[in-house]
Amino acid sequence: MIRYTLKCAQGHSFESWFADSATFDRLQQAGHIACAVCGDADVQKAIMAPSVSTGSVPTPPAEPINDGPLSAPASPAEQAIRALREKVEAEADFVGSSFAAEARAMHDGEIDDRPIWGQASADEVRDLVEDEIPIMPLPFGPTKAN
């Protein structure tokens, strides 16, 4: 899995996970990636600093650092993601780990179309994309209640 920081043509920045860089490229070319804030489909990878693990555990500061309030107001991106989660949870069926099978069955006409969401392995995602079955990564995962 790979995490990209993405930026839309409107200047909104957000992150999303992909099975690999080729999956991002295929989804982007197919128009299946949209801004988490405004829905703009003109999304590009933003410049990112790599996260490198040195294997050592950082030493905590001697005194607590007070950087302000414990919880800052939600950014527009966080508000949009929260609204998206609420809409998905209200209007789509959570199918858990059977997402790939359900999506394929709908695509093949074996079951009626309906909005679904769930989880899929990297291999399952790759197979769905290669078979041109429309899917889209969500910027959130299931809660314990799902």
- State what percent of residues in the chain have pLDDT above 90: 34
- Does residue 61 have a pLDDT over 60? no
Mean pLDDT of 134-140: 89
User: Both tokens of residue 118?
Assistant: 């769930």
Mean pLDDT of 40-57: 70
Please tell me which residue, 104 or 1, carries the higher pLDDT value.
Answer: 104
The string of pLDDT tens digits covering residues 3-37 is: 888 888 888 888 888 888 888 888 888 888 888 77
Beta strands in the chain (DSSP E): 2-8, 13-18, 43-45, 93-96, 116-118
pLDDT the model gives residue 49:
59
User: Both tokens of residue 117?
Assistant: 């969401």
Contacts of 58 (CB under 8 A, 6+ apart): none
The string of pLDDT tens digits covering residues 114-124 is: 999 999 999 99
Give the DSSP letter string of 48-60.
-------SSPPPP
Band the pLDDT of 131: cuts 50, 70, 90: very high
- State what percent of residues in the chain have pLDDT above 70: 79
